[in-house]
Amino acid sequence: KAGVTQTPRYLIKTRGQQVTLSCSPISGHRSVSWYQQTPGQGLQFLFEYFSETQRNKGNFPGRFSGRQFSNSRSEMNVSTLELGDSALYLCASSLVGGADQPQHFGDGTRLSIL
Amino acid sequence: GNSVTQMEGPVTLSEEAFLTINCTYTATGYPSLFWYVQYPGEGLQLLLKATKADDKGSNKGFEATYRKETTSFHLEKGSVQVSDSAVYFCALIQGAQKLVFGQGTRLTINP
């Protein structure tokens, strides 16, 4: 069974640009969550999608947005990039999303802002 | 709000040593608890989980017991190997699908 697939693995952008990251969950998983990992702040929750609807949201500015498609694939968009957006962005999926269901992570997209 | 606190790293041990990484949490009610491991250049892999008090999660020789009375979920392994070198994250989830992570503990095992 294929795991969670994130593309691209690496991305370099400049300040002010926008970027779109993609996540394909494990087949049959309908909940997709996004996390930002930085050395200073650690792992922080961005948002979670289920059945094409954003179900939960973390404390990030509106420049961070996402969506989920009918096949459960998800995209995350960051507009007007800032230097502080440099991070590893991780996507995780689970069946329907419940407290007892573990989330399975992809290898992440490493975003560098110049 | 919910939070997780892990012991400060880095931790360096010799092969075959006993490992303990402390983790305590703050939450109302009964969260589910997890340990994740991150190898260099990779995402997080679920190591083990426990969903209710007194549950013991175990995998690959690692164990952790959900202790409600001490709000703890310490990770232990009786004999570590070089291949266990990684960063370990304790995490909880309660209600909404939002994992709350500890700051991570970097573990290095020397041969």
Q: Return per-residue pLDDT of chain B as tens, 111 residues.
A: 889 999 888 999 999 999 999 999 999 888 999 999 999 888 899 999 999 999 999 999 999 999 999 999 999 999 999 999 999 999 998 776 688 999 999 999 999
Residue A103 has pLDDT above 80, yes or no: yes
Taking CB atoms and an 8 Å cut-off, how many pairs form between chains A and B?
Answer: 61
Residues pairing with A113 in the sheet:
A13
Least CB–CB distance from B97: residue in A97, A105, A106: A97
Q: What angle do CA B27, B91, B20 make, to 5 degrees?
A: 110
Q: Does B87 touch chain A (CB under 8 A)?
A: no
Would you tell me which residues 24-63 of chain B have a C-beta closer than 8 angstroms to some C-beta of chain A? 31-32, 34, 36, 41-46, 49, 51
Residue A99 has pLDDT above 70, yes or no: no
Q: Which residue's entry shows tokens 């700051």?
A: B103
Indicate yes or no: CB of A99 within 8 angstroms of CB of B93.
yes
Q: Encoding tokens for residue A25? A: 């969950």
Least CB–CB distance from B32: residue in A90, A100, A105: A100
For residue B102, which residues of chain A lie inside 8 Å, CB to CB?
A: 42
Q: Encoding tokens for residue A61? A: 């500015």
Mean pLDDT (chain A) is 93
**Across residues A27-43, what is the average pLDDT?**
94
Question: Which has the closest alpha carbon to A31: A76, A90, A96?
Answer: A96
**Amino acid code (one letter) for A87:** A
Determine the distance in angstroms separating the CA of B78 from the nearest CA of chain A, rounded to an integer.
25
Confidence of residue A35 (pLDDT cuts 50, 70, 90): very high
Residue A12 has pLDDT above 90, yes or no: yes
How many residues are present in chain B? 111
Confidence of residue A1 (pLDDT cuts 50, 70, 90): low
Indicate yes or no: CB of A105 within 8 angstroms of CB of B36.
yes
Residues pairing with B11 in the sheet:
B107
Of A16-20, A54-58, A101-105, which one has max mean pLDDT?
A16-20
